[in-house]
Each structure stands twice: as structure tokens, then as C-alpha cells.
Amino acid sequence: MIFRALLLATSLLAVPAEAASGIKVETVAEGLSFPWAMAFLPDGSALITERSGNLRVWRDGALAPTPIAGVPPAYVARQGGLFDVLPARDFEKSGHVYLSMAHGTAEANTTRVIRGRYTGSALEDIEVIFDAAPTRNTAVHYGGRMAWLPDGTLVLSLGDGYDFRYEAQDPANHLGAIVRITPDGAVPDDNPFVGEADKAPEVYSYGHRSVQGLAYDATRKTLWAHEHGPRGGDELNRIKPGKNYGWPVATFGVEYAGTQITPHTSRPDMEDPVLHWTPSIAPSGLAVYDADLFAQWKGSLLITALAHRMLVRVSFDDDGQPRQERLLADRKARLRSVTVGPDGAVYVLTDAADGAVLKLTPASESSP
């Protein structure tokens, strides 16, 4: 049985993060325009997306002054823009990098995935891998997070477009879904709805509102996702093929005006969240800590939050029940994304017009 828990505001009150958790925080890059995602390459450099449409490279501890050339323009409006960046599993051979972005016009836009070959200064040989269908006329709730599964397939989160919430209950379209495709954009033969005439074959799970955290946990063999609720009802979920995650038929959230969306917080034909947060923390990034630098964090989920301006560490006890620790809340910064580096450090992006990359390492015993 999936454990369900309500994260109360009072449970988030704590002493300053650095003092409580023995971490050192360094700013290792600044001057980024609403950075959205960060991904490390085999040589230790990292690619960083800016929602405004630029792809940047952080190399040898410094942000290169010139954006990567050749990135196709994104549809930049409200929440729309350039989203995630994901190196191919065979990057050292192919040089391929995947980008997700909003694409289209105010009247008809969608979430697109492209693939290009990274040369060190440019993205070349651009291919469109996937376009979510149908298009919509809103500039919010795109999803846009990507992750690799162990079998080499790609999963991508897609939002409900805000005005089209009930479409999330219809797996015939991609709104409010997580889709699974091959690296070339084809449909895997074992997707849950392949062969069903009234369902989109790319759909892997549905009933989502706006998933902006997606990560595969190799130890638990679990695909984790978290999503924004409306007013309350943010969720952390274990994603299973073909399952319905409830939105908007079952949710702990209410309308922004305070009125009820649905009387149901749970239904037997829908998946319950592992955790839910009320009031909303606005979770926006997710990583599984699988390194050794923070030994006590091994196996934890790291979640960045925009509204509550913190990093949440979720660990699990011997019974599989989640526990939470608040980090970085004293910095009072909107946190967009979190990545575990090859050095075991944790890298966090701040969501701002003058955004930064924060590097988290264990504090030495002599630190004040």
C-alpha cells in the first residue's frame, strides 16, 4: 500500500539549512536568465538551459560568456521557453543532446523535443524528435522534464495546459501525461496503450497536472515524478505504466479562489501520491542522490521548490515511509532545478532574471 502523508507548514520550520545539515553552499555561476535545467557531460562540463532560449556551458568552474550556437528558437511567453537538457546515453560516441522547449505561437503551441549534435560551441544536425498533441492556446503548464529509463527509452512530462484540465483524464491525447519514446522518437512496442485505437500510443501515464520533476531511481527501480497542484495538492508519485494519477478527478488541492475542485482526494481506480504538500511548495526539480560525498543522503530524493524557496530531501525509513528535511530555506531564493554532479556535489539553479548555480558540499568540521 502506498503511504500517503500531508506535509504541514509547521513541519517545515527548522534552523538554518547550513547549520542544521552541515553543508557548504558556494555560488559557482551567476548572470543566468531564469535557468531551468543543468546536465553534466563526460568531460565534467555542464550544459545549462535558460528559459529565455539560450543554452549555456559551464566549464572549468566558470560560465562561458557566449551561448551555444544553433539552438532553435523556443516559444518564450509566461512559463514557455527552453526547458530541459539531457545528454544521450551514448553521448561520447554520438554527441547527441536532447532539449525540450515550448514551440509554436500564442494561438497554437506545444511541448517539443529536439535532438542535436553538440560540438563544444554549437548544436548541429537538429532533428525534431517529438511534438505533443494537440496544440493549445495557453502559455502555462508545459511539463518539459526528461529522463532516461534503463532500457534506453526516453520519458517526457507534459502539462495539462491549465485550461484543458479534463483532457488529462483522456489518454487519447498528450495533455497531462508522461510519454515514453525511443531515442529517435518512435513508439516502443511495449508502451501500455499500443494497439488501442482510442489511446495515444506514446502515453505512459496520465492524470497529471504539471509535472516538473522526473527522475529514475536505479536502486528502487522506480520512476519518480512530482507535480504542481493548484492551491495545495502538490504530489510526489511513483510512476507505473498505464496508470491514472487522478488530476483533476482526485486531488488534495482546491481552486486558487478557494473553491472545491472535486470531493475526492482518492479513488480506487487511481494512484495515490506517496507525498502531497498543502500549502503548495511548488516543486520544480528532482534528482536521486546516488553519490557518496553526502553519505547520509544516499538514496534520498532531492526536490527544489519555487514557492517555499527551499530544497527538500526525502528519505525513506525501513518500512518505506518518507521523511523530509528542509534545506536552503534561509537563502530565500526560488529554486528551479537540482542535479547531482560527477563529483558528488549537489548543484541547484535559482529561478531569477539574474539566476545562479549553487554548489552544495559537506561543510568541514572547522567551518563555523
Phi and psi at residue 139, in whole multiples of 5°? -115, 40
The SS3 of residue 38 is strand
Q: Is 103 a catalytic residue?
A: no
Q: Which residues pair with 50 in a beta bridge?
A: 35
How far apart are alpha carbons 221 and 59 in whole angstroms? 32
Order the strands of the 355-362 sheet from edge to edge.
Answer: 23-32, 355-362, 346-350, 335-340
Strand-pair category, 23-32 with 301-305: unpaired
* Contact residues for 181 (Cβ-Cβ < 8 A; gap 6+): 129, 130, 153, 154, 156, 187, 188, 202
What span, in angstroms and rounded, lies between the C-alpha atoms of 110 and 130?
10
Amino acid identity of 166? Answer: Y
Beta-ladder partners of 225: 214, 237
Find where cell 484540465 sits: 165
CA dihedral (145, 222, 172, 250) in degrees, to 10, reads -90
Among 141, 174, 226, 308, the active-site one is 141
- How far is 216 from 212, CA to CA, in rounded Å? 14
Contact 140, 214 (CB under 8 A): no
Say if CB 304 and CB 326 are below 8 A apart. Answer: no
Separation CA 295–CA 290 (nearest Å)? 9
Contact status, residue 128 vs residue 116, Cβ threshold 8 Å = no
Q: Closest Cα partner for 85 from 128, 29, 47?
A: 47
Radius of gyration of the chain (CA): 19
Contacts of 127 (CB under 8 A, 6+ apart): 114, 115, 116
Catalytic sites, residue numbers:
141
